Structure 1
Amino acid sequence: MEFEEGQVIVLISTILVVFGVLFIVVLFTVFQRRKNKLLIDKQEAKKKYEKEIIETQIEIREETLRNISWELHDNIGQLLTLAKIQIQQASPENMEEISETISKSLTETRALSKLINPEFINNIKLKEALRLELERFNRLNYIEAKLTVLGEETEINQKHGIIIFRILQEFFSNTIKHSKATNLEVILKFKEKKIKITAQDNGVGFDVTKKSLNGIGIQNIKTRASLINALVKFESKPNEGTTLKINYYL
């Protein structure tokens, strides 16, 4: 049975249309699946981010409570004990000394009350949080700490500020507990589209070519930095201290 030329053309056209429709259906299905996967991945990333924020706030709260406990015992408790002894031995000659001790106790208590305030944890402002943290180190004679702020201050995402502050808290904790450092300096440098943060101590340091940087603490820092699209880098040499650099892009 022979087909006329017109019938052949119609048949070929029909086949092409069918294949075209099938191709479009397949393409649409693939596109829709990818779109759905992207939406699911985005939702999962958002859940992970929110979970990390909550966990970070809890860690900061726990660290703050530990700090309050130590400060009440090591600083304010000792000042009040001293004031009590001075009052028991009060005389016209030492009244000024007693007044100075009590005034210092009040100043330390006011500083401590800022840490107790829930708003401090829930609405952390990075520069203020760092200032209070380093001032506390100096008050308790843990280490000689200094904060330097360069450039015009830029408002940053509050949740991102919480993440950055916790990253620095972990570095501070390692410095005070393990580095045997006597000095700690933090430089907060504001630029047009990024903030560069450098934290450095003069402790024992370590050889980065020999020591693994994949410990739990380091991994936590890297994971948290990636959540806010920040870059972190450690630099250290034996007996030359350790430096943490954070580049946060606005």
Structure 2
Amino acid sequence: MNYEPTQIFFIVFSGIILMLLMSGFIIVMVLLHRQQQLRNRQKMENLKAEYDKTMLKVEKEIQDQTLSFIGQELHDNLGQILSLAKLTLNSPDEENYSEGKRLINHAIKEVRSLSKRLNLDWVKEVKLEDFIRGELQKIEKSGLCKTQFETSAQSLALDQDKKLVLIRVIQECLNNIIKHADPSMVYISLDQKDDRLSVTVKDDGNGFDVEDSSKGMGLHNLKSRIETIGGKLTVSSIIGIGTEIKLLLPFE
């Protein structure tokens, strides 16, 4: 088949145009892919920066709270034990001497216990269940209200960072209850199912309007912290009935 020169020119020209279009399409796709990679990389860097910022803030808050607790224990507990030991040892009675010795040994144990809390190593050692029980016992001892704790979790294996954030979020939930809820009962449950941990903090106090922007910042901060460790926080509250906060955290 013989082609006219104009036909040959048209075929060659069309082929060149098609090649240019394909080349342009490939270049555009490569550029879009690189831009997406850069955006993903930037997003990951932002997430990591937010995570690091959250961990630093949580660690500082827990350290500050620990120092406050230690100061109070030194004043109210250890100081009282040592004062009793001094009064007891001032008596020449041998029975009092034995009691004074016992009080001093007790004071030494208290000092060792407090020294462990000066850093965050206790977070590695403490079980989440034991920490929650301890926080609820503090509330009961204060006479504020009754408490209840239930768990179906067995041997939770949480890394230190996740446990640290969970501990701080639970503390903050309980602090909000103490400050604002005026409850007669505080209830916490731990539920472990397959690859997910569920923590529920509930009270029968005043409740509040979750849509009220003036009270939303604290909840936003709690949600942000849980999200940095891959979790989710939901809140439901009815004025005059109480509040329920649920924390969902997947296991890796």
TM-score (norm 2): 0.79
Letter in 2 for 1:186: I
Asked if 1:244 is matched to 2:242, the reply is no
Find the aligned partners of 1:106 and 1:149 in 2 and give their Cα distance.
Answer: 34
Deviates more, 1:40-49 or 1:143-152: 143-152
Per the TM alignment, residue 74 of structure 1 is displaced from its structure 2 partner at its CA by 3.1
Aligned position for 1:205: 206
Work out whether residues 226 and 233 of structure 2, in 8 Å CA contact, stay in contact via their aligned partners in 1.
Answer: yes
Letter in 1 for 2:15: S
Aligned position for 2:59: 57
Work out whether residues 63 and 119 of structure 2, in 8 Å CA contact, stay in contact via their aligned partners in 1.
Answer: no
Per the TM alignment, residue 245 of structure 1 is displaced from its structure 2 partner at its CA by 1.2
Asked if 1:233 is matched to 2:234, the reply is yes
Per the TM alignment, residue 137 of structure 1 is displaced from its structure 2 partner at its CA by 4.5
Aligned position for 1:218: 219
Per the TM alignment, residue 29 of structure 1 is displaced from its structure 2 partner at its CA by 0.9
Change in CA separation of 1:79 and 1:182 when aligned onto 2, cut-off 3 Å? farther
Letter in 1 for 2:227: S
Identical aligned residues as a percent: 26
- SS of the equivalent of 1:196 reads strand
Per the TM alignment, residue 246 of structure 1 is displaced from its structure 2 partner at its CA by 0.7
Long gaps (5+) in structure 2: none
What is the 5 A alignment of 1:102-113?
109=111, 111-113=113-115
Work out whether residues 208 and 235 of structure 1, in 8 Å CA contact, stay in contact via their aligned partners in 2.
Answer: no
Work out whether residues 197 and 250 of structure 2, in 8 Å CA contact, stay in contact via their aligned partners in 1.
Answer: yes
TM-score (norm 1): 0.79
Aligned position for 1:175: 177
Long gaps (5+) in structure 1: none
Work out whether residues 126 and 162 of structure 1, in 8 Å CA contact, stay in contact via their aligned partners in 2.
Answer: no
Change in CA separation of 1:87 and 1:172 when aligned onto 2, cut-off 3 Å? farther
Letter in 2 for 1:216: M
- 1:113-170 per-position Cα deviation (integer Å, ceiling 9, x unaligned): 4423441257765334434444555566666555433132331233122111111111
